[in-house]
Chains A and B, each alone.
Chain A
Amino acid sequence: DAKTTQPTSMDCAEGRAANLPCNHSTISGNEYVYWYRQIHSQGPQYIIHGLKNNETNEMASLIITEDRKSSTLILPHATLRDTAVYYCIVRANYGGSQGNLIFGKGTKLSVKP
Chain B
Amino acid sequence: EAGVAQSPRYKIIEKRQSVAFWCNPISGHATLYWYQQILGQGPKLLIQFQNNGVVDDSQLPKDRFSAERLKGVDSTLKIQPAKLEDSAVYLCASSLDRRERREKLFFGSGTQLSVL
Contacts and interface: CB of A to CB of B under 8 A. Distances in A.
Contacts of A91: 101
A32 to B, nearest CB: 7
Contact of A43 (B56, B99, B108): B108
Contacts of B42: 87, 103-106
B107 interface: yes
B75 interface: no
Contacts of A42: 107, 109-110
Nearest to B58: A97
A44 B109 CA distance: 8
B105 interface: yes
Nearest to A46: B104
Interface SS majority for chain B: loop
A43 B107 contact: yes
Contacts of A100: 33, 45, 48, 56
Nearest to B110: A43
Contacts, number: 50
B4 interface: yes
Contacts of A43: 4, 91, 93, 107-110
Interface string B91-113: 10100001101101111111000
Contacts of A87: 42
B81 to A, nearest CB: 26
A102 B33 CA distance: 12
Given A100-B45, A104-B42, 13 more contacts: A32-B102, A36-B105, A41-B109, A42-B109, A43-B108, A43-B109, A46-B104, A46-B105, A49-B102, A96-B56, A99-B98, A99-B101, A100-B48
Interface of A: 32, 36, 41-46, 49, 87, 91, 94, 96-97, 99-106
Interface of B: 4, 33, 40-45, 48, 56, 58, 91, 93, 98-99, 101-102, 104-110
